[in-house]
Structure 1
Amino acid sequence: MRRALNGGPRLYRMVGCIGLCLNILAIVYITFNMIYNVNPFHRSGQGCVRLETLDPNEVDMNKSIFFLETNRMPAVEIIPRQACSIESAARANPDRQVYVLVLSPRLECTHNMTAVFRLIAHYKNVKIRHVDFYGYVSDTPAEAFVKSGTMDKGRWPVEQHSDLLRLLTLWKFGGVYMDIDVVSLRPVPMENFVIAEKPGPMLGSGVIGLQNKSIAARAIEMFIRGFVGDEWTQNGPFLITSLTRAVCETDQLPDVNAGNANCGDLTIYQADVFSPIPWYEWPKLFHETDDYAVMKALNNSVGVHFWNKMTKDQPILVGSMQPYAQIAAMYCPIVYGTADEYL
């Protein structure tokens, strides 16, 4: 023992490696703190990652993909399933910027943050930014409506703020809005489009593409005029359906059962493009016995809507044959790789 302590070359090499590793860790820690303003000793609930505020000049007009997190709390958590959607969009669209716009100024640090940090490090096109709600609506068609306080009386403030902010975001920047429970399988089209949903007749509001600012302005006007605080679908799917009828100048929407439809500058995609498994069949996404049918249904899909409102408490076992687990393994491999037993 004394001889080894007094000078074995293997010991010196080992001590040198340990010292080098500690130095690298120190550099990473300092750099991380400088970039993300991290205070690991913050009390839970105050958040430990202060987000950079969105600079409108950094956004590529009509070329970006947007997710929203509209909980107006001191700090919010991006859970692995949300991170999976973000990664899948960045992975499928490497030539597009993927923005996650967060109303909270901070992210809460939990064990789930590992997935977020890894995807930010790997995908340079992922930008998580804070937006101040009142600042964001300033100088927009919705400013007076928001200041009136009408929305503050809504029954579902998180969802209803999201309904408005997705329209304002597309009015400001153009591009594609996606719900944060939609996993991308293929590149998302950059055009004016809405999506059908089964069983119909209403269209969906979970994925919207708009590059025509006049259509977005029309949607905002209809939102303000028709806002209903105690209705779940009125300000989302019903609005998008009404908007499409107005743009198409018809009370009867085109039939999309046989294929996608167009009216003027707007495309209406079949339900299978983004919702191959309709909301009323959501259990199929978690049953191993349904894996073949579900995976086959994805052949012509750009994305998969996972219906978080119904499925948020359903377990996803890592390594299982559950369709959700298989999709995550293929389309958000970094996030999936950070999960322990459940995603």
Structure 2
Amino acid sequence: MKTKLPSYNPPEQRRSHRNHHHHRHSKFHIFTTISLITIIFTYMFNKTTFISNISFNFNPNTTIPIPSNLFNSNQTFIINQLKSTSFSTIQNPVLIVKELIIQESRTDQSLQNPLIPLVNLTETIKISNLEIKNKLPEFDILMNSNQEFETRVKNFFKDCKVRFFMIWISSTFKVFGEREFIAVDALFNTNPDSCLMILSNTMDSDYGFQILKPVIDLGFRVLAIEPDFDILFNNTPAKAWFDHIKNGNHDPGEIPLAQNLSNLIRLVVLYKYGGVYIDSDFISLKDFSGLRNSIGAQSAARSGHWTRLNNAVLIFDKNHPLLYNFIEEFALTFDGNRWGYNGPYLVSRVVEREARKIELNYTVLPPSAFYLVDWTRIGGLFIRPLNRGHAKWVEAKVVQLKESSYGVHLWNKQSRRLRIEEESIMARLISEHCVVCKSFKKTDFLTG
């Protein structure tokens, strides 16, 4: 039996193996050291760069003190601080919030450790930016709190001939422009003894007050007030829907939440207080005091029967059952991905379904009342007469609107970028129905 001898490695070969192993070990240490330095350097560079990139539009003269531990406990505090600060001194308030988010994230222990992979830092900043862009403004709309809301509403509406409502809910800090001011201006020309309440999360501010001041200084009663949704929606079907949206149990959809909130708020305020709701792009041409429990048809068949209704103008008594049906339909069938489904299409399908119930006691007004000019033809109201024939048509249309319509809906989505040209129908109507009148010259056109 042969005995297997151990293999023999010459000294030179053993030295070669040791040298090779030592070389590989050294390369590993070098690679690890370089990687670690790269991570630390990139982290420090990114931290500085991100803060500088988001701060370049921020006015350094504007200071908003916010405690470092407040963000996680009360996110709406940031927006409220921005709203209480003069809008004219803030170039981009969203950037301020973005800076606060990133500064707050630095207090997290995981971000202070340079050994944490960079992907975690990157993902954290991406998430913060996404929340700033998409979630935080919408979240602020839902979380508004105004405990004095109900008291202020009741006190304001004392001794009003007609109660008017407008709604201006914005997730981007927008306030009334010239087009919206024209609607307020015209309203008090034709309804001077009435009151206008603007439910808004941005107009209830010093900046909003300055916009409305020219009308207020003339003695007309207009108030912008931030709604408290918990109070406003309480004891209506809207409350359950609102709670589901606020708690993240219902998908708000792709349509801006502010738009659908506006569709719901107009129904609830009329149900709770009664009065007239008009869109902020509706130019009033007549006294509304003779109207009660009415909704306007946007279109009608040749027989005269309506084919579509619209919710840009609504006139209803307090606690009207049709309004309750509208609110209930909104809460039960809400779809945030279909434009108009929770607005014009909602009132159309409910009225069609309830048409045979005489006890509801309401009137459907013809298209001439509020929608004499369809959205596809609204552009014609902004153009100056091109020739003598066109001038005669303009004159005839102005007369028709004054005689047949309570106002004209401007369909802002289609007309907001159009100029109101001199001697156009719009220029004629506005100049004849205003209390804070604007002159229309070739060099001074108004845009939406």
| TM-score when normalising by structure 2 | 0.58
Alignment match of 1:186 (pick from 286, 307, 319): 286
1:161 and 2:243 are equivalent in the alignment: no
Aligned partner of 1:26 in structure 2 is none
CA distance in 2, matches of 1:334, 1:41: 23
What do residues 176-224 of structure 1 show as CA deviations (whole Å, max 9, x unaligned)?
1111111101111441011011256111111011115122111100111
User: Is this contact kept in 2: 1:156–1:232, CA < 8 A?
Assistant: no
Aligned length: 288
The amino acid across from 1:85 in the alignment is A
How much is the aligned-residue C-alpha RMSD, in angstroms?
3.1
Q: Which residue of 2 aligns with 1:82?
A: 180
Separation (CA, whole Å) in 1 of partners of 2:220 and 2:251? 35
User: Which residue number in structure 1 is paired with residue 400 of structure 2?
Assistant: 297
Q: Structure 1 vs Structure 2: percent identity of aligned residues?
A: 21
Which residue is 2:167 aligned to?
A: 68
Instruction: Identify if the C-alpha distance between structure 1 residues 342 and 247 changes in structure 2 by more than 3 Å, giving closer, same or farther.
Output: same
Counterpart selection for 2:341 from 229, 234, 244: 234
2: CA distance, partners of 1:190 / 1:59: 22
State how far apart, in whole Å, the 2-side matches of 1:187 and 1:280 are.
27
Residue 338 of structure 1: CA displacement?
A: 10
Does the 8 Å contact 1:329/1:336 carry over to 2? yes
Contact 2:275 2:318 in 1 (8 A): no
> Contact 1:70–1:158 (CA<8 Å) still a contact in 2?
yes
Equivalent in the alignment of 1:313: 417
Displacement, 1:59?
4.7
| Structure 1 runs not aligned, ≥5 long | 1-36, 47-51, 251-261
Q: Could you tell me the TM-score, scaled by structure 1's length? A: 0.74
Distance in structure 2 (CA, Å) of the matches to 1:83 and 1:105: 12
Distance 1:204 1:215 in 2: 14
CA distance change for structure 1 residues 175 and 151 in 2, over 3 Å: closer, same or farther?
farther
TM-superposition CA deviations, 1:72-100 (whole Å, max 9, x none): 34x33211111111122222112221111
Q: Following TM superposition, by how much is the alpha carbon of 1:105 offset from its aligned partner in structure 2, in angstroms?
A: 6.3
Deviations 1:119-145 (A, max 9, x none): 121142222222234443344321111
Aligned pairs for 1:252-267 within 5 A = 265-267=361-363
Which residue does 1:103 correspond to in 2? Answer: 201
Does the residue aligned with 2:299 lie in a helix, a strand or coil? coil
> Shift in Å at residue 173 of structure 1?
0.6
Asked if structure 2 preserves the Cα contact closer than 8 Å seen for 1:80 and 1:335, the reply is: no
> What is the rounded CA distance, in whole Å, between the counterparts of 1:315 and 1:282 in structure 2?
12
Give secondary structure in 2 for the equivalent of 1:336: coil
SS of structure 2 residue aligned to 1:203: strand
How do residues 1-343 of structure 1 correspond to structure 2 at under 5 angstroms? 39=86, 42-45=89-92, 54=149, 55-60=152-157, 63-73=162-172, 75-104=173-202, 106-107=204-205, 109=207, 116-149=212-245, 150=250, 152-188=252-288, 189-198=290-299, 201-213=307-319, 214-249=321-356, 265-289=361-385, 290-298=393-401, 299-317=403-421, 320-336=422-438, 341-343=444-446
| Corresponding residue for residue 28 of structure 1 | none
Asked if structure 2 preserves the Cα contact closer than 8 Å seen for 1:203 and 1:237, the reply is yes
| In structure 1, C-alpha distance between the alignment counterparts of 2:271 and 2:360, rounded to whole Å | 19
Aligned AA for 1:95?
A: D
Q: CA deviation at 1:284?
A: 1.3
Task: Judge which range, 300-309 or 83-92, deviates more.
Answer: 83-92
> Where do 5+ consecutive residues of structure 2 fail to align?
1-83, 94-145, 301-305, 386-392
How has the CA–CA distance of structure 1 residues 38 and 333 changed in structure 2, closer, same or farther, with 3 Å as cutoff?
Answer: farther
Judging changes above 3 Å, is the alpha-carbon distance between structure 1 residues 268 and 224 closer, same or farther for their aligned structure 2 residues? same
**Structure 1 pair 59–167 and aligned structure 2 pair: CA distance change class (3 A):** farther
Structure 1 letter corresponding to 2:232: Y
Cα distance, 1:173–1:337 mapped onto 2, change above 3 Å: farther
* TM-aligned CA distance change 1:45 to 1:99, over 3 Å: farther
Q: Provide the secondary structure at the position in 1 that maps to 2:339.
A: coil
Q: Distance in 2 between matches of 1:109 and 1:121?
A: 16
2:13 corresponds in structure 1 to none
Relative contact order: is structure 1 or structure 2 higher (C-alpha 8 Å, sep ≥ 6)? Answer: 1
1:128 aligns to what SS in structure 2?
strand
Secondary structure of the residue aligned to 2:194 is coil
Partner SS for 1:158:
helix
